[in-house]
Amino acid sequence: MKPDLSATIRVVLLISILGGGIMAGAQDQMGQSPAPQPDNTKTNQRDRSASEPTADQQKSNPSDRYISQQIRKSIEKDKSLSTYGHNVKVITQNGTVTLKGPVRSEEEKRAIEQKAAQIAGADKVTSEIDVQPKQ
């Protein structure tokens, strides 16, 4: 008689799932709780201000769209940037670019600002990029 392979796999999976739950419970009881979730409350409150440009205010005219696309492509192409750097918001309104979001270093901030300045012009870029090093 052949052993039923699918039944064996199901038993192994069930044991792993139950074992994982037991281990997670044991960590909580031993004072090892999961890391706290990031809190962007202050940044989100700043971005709610009517005077602050947000991504939903990006203009849809061809020239503004083109500027944002070119800056975004330049940022994405640079593999030396962190995930934070790649996710900086690029907002273009009437030819003026606003950069927002956290990055990991001053060098990363400067690199993104330079990319935007090369495309839009140095006098057309406003940087609201925050440096938040790894903790």
In terms of domains, do 20 and 77 share one?
no
62 and 112 together in one domain: yes
Q: Rounded CA gap, 62 and 67, in Å?
A: 9
Same structural domain, 101 and 75: yes
* pLDDT score for 134: 80
Do 28 and 55 belong together in one domain?
no
**What's the half-sphere exposure (Cβ side, CA atoms, 13 Å) at 132?**
16
pTM surpassing 0.85?
no
d(CA 17, CA 49): 46
**Same domain, yes or no, for 25 and 60?**
no
Domain that holds residue 15: 1-34
**Sheet containing 125-131, strands listed edge to edge, beginning at the edge strand earlier in sequence:** 89-93, 96-103, 125-131
| pLDDT tens track for 59-98 | 678 999 999 999 999 999 999 999 999 999 999 999 999 9
